[in-house]
Amino acid sequence: MHKLFGSALIIGGLLVGGIVVWLMWLYAGEGLLARGTAVAGAFFGLLLLALPQFILGVYLLRTD
């Protein structure tokens, strides 16, 4: 069961990370955010949303 949850969390973390980066790139391109703000938003979005999910997924895959 850990492998299933771990795989789902890894896929979800990659998906969330991709969406965060894409949204920040889109907002910066349309002029809704300054480039520095978009970079900071992408960094903190990855750090607070995607990375913990990804790390927990890797942990669950490694433990048995």
**Mean pLDDT of the residues in the chain:** 95
Task: Give the mean pLDDT of 22-39.
Answer: 95
Task: Give the mean pLDDT of 39-64.
Answer: 94
Task: Give the mean pLDDT of 19-24.
Answer: 97
Look at residue 17 in the predicted model and tell me its pLDDT: 96
Q: How far is CA 61 from CA 4, 24, 28, in A?
A: 8, 30, 36
Residue with token string 């896929």: 11
Q: How far apart are CA 36 and CA 24, in angstroms?
A: 10
Q: How far apart are CA 34 and CA 29, in angstroms?
A: 9
pLDDT at position 64 over 80 = no
Look at residue 33 in the predicted model and tell me its pLDDT: 93
Which tokens sit at 46? 């990855």
pLDDT at position 50 over 90 = yes
Phi, psi (5° rounding) for residue 27? -65, -40
